[in-house]
Structure 1
Amino acid sequence: MSSQVRLRLQPSARCLYDEPVQVKVAGLRPRQVVTIRARSTDEKGVEFSSSATYRADGSGEIDLDTDPSLGGSYVGVEPMGLLWSMRSETLHKRCQKNKALNPHVVKFSVHEDEGEGRMLAEATNERLLMGDGVSRLPVKEGNIRGVLFTPPGTGPFPAVLDLYTLGGGVSEKRASLLASRGFVVLTVALYGHDDMPKNIQEVHLDYFEESIKFLKKQDQVGNKGVGVISLSKSGDLALSVASYLPGVEATVWINGCSANTALPLYYKRSQLLPALMFDLTKLIPTESGAMMGKYALHNPLAEENKGSLVPIEQAEGRFLFVASEDDLNWDSKGYMDEMVERLKRHGKENFESVCYPAAGHYLEPPYGPYCPSSIHGLVGKPVLWGGEPRSHAAAEVHMWKKIQEFFRTQLSCDATATEAELSIRVQS
């Protein structure tokens, strides 16, 4: 390693997962061409990596905020390109980073572009999923199985129920990051976690009602209603929570369906909605070995399926609909358009929507590795998620800010001071 070459991460090598860092290199020869690499290992032991070629300026410096990549995992000026372009050498792997106590550790390095690429400098970026002072409490109360995240301070804070992933375990990433931004967040599992059944044949709305009551009784939570955030299948469950249960002020629906999918929905032991099902013969194979499932779900607007539509027109709270036009899992944009049209037809104005033309299905907190395909929990095979990597990454940055603004506005809480305090503490 060259003692003259310096790789710096600004403003700090330690930051929250959803914060950008400025990557700078100094001490190179004027106009020297080098390769900058990033690598990380997820919770399953799978390594993800990226690389890009850069040319130093006349002073021997490179700044990823302003200098373009000449080739590699991406081209052009992409300040965070080394993060979102990281991929596994094994096909159909999605970066598993779900446990809030484990930071996303990324090693950056600079290499000579000739020969074997001798390393010239390196630096480690510790990307925290949980800000300093945020508390993490595993929840096993009544039927609830999940994790509660609470910001430092006495509050009151706005409360959010996170339905990110409902089976196989609890995903803590989004919930812990929202808590780091000033929200009390409960993320829950529905099956396959801890002592829960491994599989279920039906979903009971009572479980989410119990979760909301638990969330609202926390000391740091204000007396306003709660927010709900979802993704994919949990999108239709979030719609049902908002439509049938009281006290839900704000619902974020991300690339879900407008109808109740896969499993029938019950409340107080009575069925509310039948399940809209899939036709797996409509899965389209691709050269990569992954299936394309956009057209496998039955049409919710067909006369025989309309009973599965979630009656969002009876919801009292507000909705934020987020859809990706290049979602290859199913037709999220079409489902969003149907809901918007239906709400308008009922004279409702309690919604806003945002659409990302070249983004794929898995819209998450920003700066994680883009995932083109991975194993689908229901299908049991790899499927394509869609999206163009650069556009998908930009959509995640925009969406993440939009979600926080939406919740702060609708849940009547100004968390600016809390967020600023957390940001300062995590960088110190």
Structure 2
Amino acid sequence: MSGATPPILSVHPCQALVDETFSVVVENLPPGRPVTVRSLHQSEDKDFWEAYGHYVSDHHGTVSVSEDLSLGGTYRGKEPMGLLWSMRPVPGSRTGLRLRKVNVCAPLLVNISVYSGHENFRDIPPLVSTLVERWYMAPGVKRIEINEKGIRGTLLIPAGPGRYPGLLDLWGGGGGLNEYRAALLASHGYASLAVDYIKAAEYKTKDLQLKYFEIAFNILKEHPQVMSDRVGIIGLCLGSLIALSLAAYSTNIKPHCIICISSVLTTSSGKLIGGISEGIPERAQKTRVDENNHHIWRDVGVALLDEPSMKVEVGKINCPMLLLHGCDDQNWASLESAHEIYKMMRAAGKEHLVAKVDYPGAGHLIEPPFSPHFRATNFIPQGTKEKLIVLWGGETKAHSDAQEDSWKKILSFLQQHMYSNPSTKSKI
């Protein structure tokens, strides 16, 4: 491509939170010229992720990712954020990868480039490139490491001196300390405590008790910058089971509201105090694999729902709850669990406390918006050293739409119940 004036690539804003949209515009192209717009990110574990769309410049020599149609690539059609949500490992990468931000104090760096043509673009230098910063932690958010009373976690406090509603942030059975959702929640005005509980030295999985989470809840509640009467819980998968169990059974804490993503309703004897994994004795028999040898666990959850004694007694819950689930969840029977939760709450005369959203085509791992979709990734079950590839489910476009919509609903739900003084009816 020749010409006196080189192409101009603009990304606005070039620095933003990960849940903010951006616009990508290429100017000074020849009219009707095919180009590929590509995003490239190197993860903290040194793997490369990419997304790209094929475009044709208009009669002004301009391509706008927000307004124009992608004719092919990792996404199609008018998709303003397709360069992020359709990211996948570059060809030749290791199998079963999952992209998760570890250091929330540093941005997720994405290189946006423009290439001539639609074919073999990886083999030629880009016409123009620019670097974009995507942040989980807004300026001024404070990060505090917690290691007290047997609790290991990270507290993220919003910028400013004020007192804020609090959220106990619980991830699933993969374990580890994951801070990025808590950092993003803090960026929106919620003091958020991300807790490592699966691998906590004092509380191995088989011994895990409600007490551990009550202690973590109270650490958050007692922080001087937290509204002690406005502390809720957000949990994904196993974290949702803990949220439900605390709201139903704890006599020491009272969550102001709970958010359950891809819910788990069943455990040993219906109570968390018996340990997390003991309620799934038939795991090996109920697990199946697909044609790619990806492990599917949803049948275990379906079977356990037939055991009334293993269900958390959610009818005892008296706080508002938001249930978010993918209809193509292949990891757990979360959709069936959500319907059962609603049924049990209705039987208790408390359906007004429940807001439930089902997402057709979405899988298990409903993450913050514009995160890549992970249909199947590596997973090491607790108590083993065997690495499996677990099928989470979901179709990329539908799952990505669910992530964007569910985040809006989460923020709306929190605004309604943590900052406002609404009636107890959930309106989602």
With the length of structure 2 as denominator, give the TM-score of the two structures.
0.89
Residue 412 of structure 2 corresponds to: 405
Residue 264 of structure 2 corresponds to: 257
Residue 63 of structure 2 corresponds to: 62
Task: Give CA-to-partner distance per residue, 1:49-68, whole Å, 9 cap, x none.
Answer: 12211001000101111101
Residue 233 of structure 1 corresponds to: 238
Aligned 1:135-146 pairs, distance under 5 A: 135-146=142-153
Aligned 1:10-409 pairs, distance under 5 A: 10=12, 12-88=13-89, 89-113=93-117, 116-165=123-172, 168-192=175-199, 196=201, 199-245=204-250, 246-260=253-267, 265-266=272-273, 275-297=279-301, 299-302=303-306, 305-348=307-350, 349-378=352-381, 380-409=387-416
- Once the two structures are TM-superposed, the CA of residue 186 in structure 1 deviates from its matched residue by 0.5
The 8 Å contact of residues 205 and 277 in structure 2, kept in 1 or not, is answered as no
- Once the two structures are TM-superposed, the CA of residue 82 in structure 1 deviates from its matched residue by 1.3
**More contact order relative to length (CA 8 Å, sep ≥ 6):** 1
Specify whether residues 198 and 25 from structure 1 end up closer, same or farther in structure 2 by C-alpha distance, changes over 3 A only.
farther
CA–CA distance in 2 between the matches of 1:256 and 1:182?
25
- Once the two structures are TM-superposed, the CA of residue 408 in structure 1 deviates from its matched residue by 1.9
The 8 Å contact of residues 70 and 78 in structure 2, kept in 1 or not, is answered as yes
Per the alignment, in what secondary structure is the counterpart of residue 224 of structure 1? strand
Letter in 1 for 2:7: V
The 8 Å contact of residues 249 and 316 in structure 1, kept in 2 or not, is answered as no
Specify whether residues 95 and 272 from structure 1 end up closer, same or farther in structure 2 by C-alpha distance, changes over 3 A only.
closer
The 8 Å contact of residues 203 and 263 in structure 1, kept in 2 or not, is answered as no
RMSD: 2.3
Aligned residues between the structures: 406
**Percentage of pairs with the same residue:** 32
The 8 Å contact of residues 99 and 171 in structure 1, kept in 2 or not, is answered as no
Task: Give CA-to-partner distance per residue, 1:98-155, whole Å, 9 cap, x none.
Answer: 3311311111100011664431011111101100000000001111100000011222
Q: Runs of 5+ in structure 1 lacking a partner?
A: 415-428
The 8 Å contact of residues 37 and 51 in structure 1, kept in 2 or not, is answered as yes
Q: Which segment is superposed worse, 37-46 or 179-188?
A: 37-46
- Once the two structures are TM-superposed, the CA of residue 323 in structure 1 deviates from its matched residue by 1.0
- Once the two structures are TM-superposed, the CA of residue 168 in structure 1 deviates from its matched residue by 4.1
CA–CA distance in 1 between the matches of 2:276 and 2:283?
23
The 8 Å contact of residues 105 and 126 in structure 1, kept in 2 or not, is answered as yes
Per the alignment, in what secondary structure is the counterpart of residue 127 of structure 1? strand
The 8 Å contact of residues 155 and 222 in structure 1, kept in 2 or not, is answered as no
Letter in 1 for 2:368: P
Specify whether residues 54 and 159 from structure 1 end up closer, same or farther in structure 2 by C-alpha distance, changes over 3 A only.
same
The 8 Å contact of residues 287 and 295 in structure 2, kept in 1 or not, is answered as yes
Per the alignment, in what secondary structure is the counterpart of residue 147 of structure 1? strand
Residue 426 of structure 2 corresponds to: none
Per the alignment, in what secondary structure is the counterpart of residue 367 of structure 2? coil
- Once the two structures are TM-superposed, the CA of residue 20 in structure 1 deviates from its matched residue by 1.2
Specify whether residues 247 and 358 from structure 1 end up closer, same or farther in structure 2 by C-alpha distance, changes over 3 A only.
same
Task: Give CA-to-partner distance per residue, 1:218-237, whole Å, 9 cap, x none.
Answer: 11112323110010111111
CA–CA distance in 2 between the matches of 1:185 and 1:105?
24
Task: Give CA-to-partner distance per residue, 1:145-200, whole Å, 9 cap, x none.
Answer: 0000001122221110000246642101100000000000001011325xx26953
Q: Runs of 5+ in structure 2 lacking a partner?
A: 422-428
The 8 Å contact of residues 43 and 97 in structure 1, kept in 2 or not, is answered as yes
CA–CA distance in 2 between the matches of 1:101 and 1:147?
12
